[in-house]
Chains A and B, each alone.
Chain A
Amino acid sequence: MWKFIVRRLLVTFPQIVFLSVLVFVMAQFMPGDALTGLIDPNISPEALEIQRERLGLNNPWYVQYVDWLGGLVQGDLGQSFRFKMDVTALISERVMNTILLSLVSLIFTYLIAIPLGIISGRYNDSPLDSAITGYSYLGFATPIFIFALVVLWVFGFMLGWFPTSGSVAPGLDAGSMEYYISKLYHALLPGLSIALISVVSTIQYLRSEIVDTKQKDFIITARAKGASENRVYNKHIFRNSLLPIAAFFGWEITSLISGTVFVERVFSYPGMGLLFLESVTGRDFSVVTALVLLFGIASILGALLSDIILSIVDPRIRIK
């Protein structure tokens, strides 16, 4: 299995290099450059040209790429002209919020989806299964931004159980216990909103996998050994049905970084999705470039994680 993981890691490295080239080239095609956002209209074009020369903006693209890569490795992603701060500092502040929110929603998703998927698959075509499947259709059809608004209105404003915006209550010392509790508290409602909608695909995946696995020959073997129905389901069917869910898990991790634009917007939650949306509309190119690169790396790592998880749970994947 280690061989498989090492081999898989070796493939990942060129993928990331290729991604960085792609992102850099695309950034070059965008109108404007690093100076566009900073210039004062009163500066003469000659002075601008001198600055360009000094900053290396007139160098061939591969020289610029190497410069850019060098900065990247040292954690220098440039300046955001909109926020007037380092992109690295800007992103690292947001990334923690997004990871917290995504973790909360991921935990809720699996807590809800796995039991419902098991019930739905085991007792398929029963009234209970119909009810769960009915909910799934409803979830598929409901736009998350509408649902999040309703949740916010009911639990945030009408009942007042949860905060309605931000990621932390003002006036708390960063690092204190109250601060972390407040952070978690702020992530609960948006996290639950995401979970209640995103469970439906996991439920349906699990259900159809269980219905499928139920009819496999090795289930008959298990019954013929004298395994009770509960044992057949828990030991044989469930584990085999988890494979696609496990494979999907890595992709879920990707969303830990990229965040969810709509829900962050509705809850005014300062996460990556919201930052990306703001930067695109505000033409904050250095931030957009950095985020695209980050999301890209996240999906490559997500795929890597998926494969590793799959190789752990499914012995057939491992390369000898």
Chain B
Amino acid sequence: MSNELLKIKNLSTSFRIGDEYYAAVDDVTLTLNKNEVLGIVGESGSGKSALAFSVMRLHTKAKIEGEVLLNNQDIVTMPKSKLDKIRGDEMAMIFQDPLTALNPLTPIGGQIEETLFLHNRKLGQQGRKKRAVELLDLVGIPNAERVFEQFPHELSGGMRQRVIIAIAIANDPKLLIADEPTTALDVTIQAQILDLIRELKEKIHAGIILITHDLGVVAEMADRVAVMYAGQIVEIASVEKLFENPLHPYTRSLLNSVPVEGQDTLHVIQGVVPSLKNLPREGCRFAARIPWVDASAHEENPTMHEVESGHFVRCTCHEHFYIPDQNEEKGEQSNGIS
């Protein structure tokens, strides 16, 4: 059997605005191997979360096209009853905001027990309770017995995120999607949660998709990285290659935007990610934000090119891209305005 756990083929997820559908995830193809951590990075609005929700089929009002094969079962087309058996069991998700992701009226224990109940009827009530307390222990919650009885509002954000992680790993999923698991937490707690995920990675042997906009987190945790921009993957490579030899202009701009000690000005990528409705549908989607690169450098229909084994990049514009001097860039901007 192959080592492939998840295979996403030409996945597009579109949302309706007015009378038309707009793709938030556009023609994404990628694979995830067993026990591998794939980082997905990109700015807000680049479609990272939309991609994660599509893999879990959690969108309620989206049009999904393409294939999402988890162990060769297509998530997109399988009947809902089968999907319910897989969700929470073979694949699970850690959510962005721990403050709202737990049911406010149910004690912590009950929320963990629910996922055990749904996928393992043999466990019985005693077994479920025992396992739930074990899980709370496993995710590093002190006083697990007591927390079992408590309600979400009695716990801090970090503790709640640990509970959400406990729910996600309850049935030993093969695929774990962590959708910006630390965004809503403060910095010290972020580090603890990441340590926890790293620890668990060794214990549960799951393929992990880690969605984040924190490049430091990716560098530390991921085996491979996919960079998303405007709904597309623009570059995908092993973490070493991506950080050593970033190619796509967007990846390079992103890496250049990480604050470095001793550098007094921060590199800023011009402009913002265009909204779903205003996304350029033709040509290189990043072209508008690197106006100093000649238009002829872009492909008409940018495709993925394998520059090295396992290192793919979209569009040919990376060959002509350079990061302008900060002052030069400012000059260009003001020229553009005047």
Contacts and interface: CB of A to CB of B under 8 A. Distances in A.
B95 A226 contact: no
B114 A316 contact: no
B314 interface: no
A223 B58 CA distance: 7
B105 A222 contact: no
Interface string A196-229: 0000000000000000000011101111111111
A220 B87 contact: no
A315 B110 CA distance: 14
B263 interface: no
Interface stretch (B77-85, B285-293, B304-312): B77-85
B42 interface: no
Contacts of A315: 104-105, 107, 151, 153
Contacts, number: 72
A240 B88 CA distance: 22
B102 interface: yes
B100 A226 contact: no
A239 B81 contact: no
A216 B93 CA distance: 16
Contact of B151 (A220, A221, A223, A316): A316
A45 B92 CA distance: 90
B97 A217 contact: yes
Nearest to A220: B58
Interface in B47-91: 56, 58, 80-81, 84-89
A82 interface: no
Contacts of A224: 56, 58, 87-88, 92-93, 95, 168
Interface in B299-336: none
Contact of A221 (B84, B89, B103): B103
Contacts of B164: 221
Interface residues of B, number: 30
B153 A240 contact: no
Contact of B102 (A221, A227, A316): A221
B103 A225 contact: no
B58 A313 contact: no
Nearest to B104: A316
B119 interface: yes
A37 B188 CA distance: 78
Interface in B97-148: 97, 100-105, 107, 114-115, 118-119
A2 B95 CA distance: 35
B167 interface: yes
B271 to A, nearest CB: 30
A226 B80 CA distance: 10
B135 to A, nearest CB: 13
A315 B155 CA distance: 13
Contacts of A221: 95, 101-103, 164, 167
Given A226-B84, A229-B80, A218 B101 contact: yes
Given A224-B58, A226-B119, A316-B153, A240 B86 contact: no
A226 B101 contact: no
A187 to B, nearest CB: 35
A235 B85 CA distance: 18
Contacts of B114: 222, 225, 227, 235
Contacts of B56: 224
Task: Specify which of B81, B100, B101, B103 lies most central, judged by the most chain A CB atoms within 10 Å of its CB.
Answer: B103
Contacts of A67: none
A216 B103 CA distance: 9
Given A217-B100, A226-B119, 9 more contacts: A217-B95, A218-B102, A221-B102, A224-B87, A225-B114, A226-B115, A227-B114, A235-B114, A240-B103
Closest 7 CB pairs of A and B: A226-B88, A217-B100, A225-B88, A225-B115, A226-B87, A315-B151, A218-B103
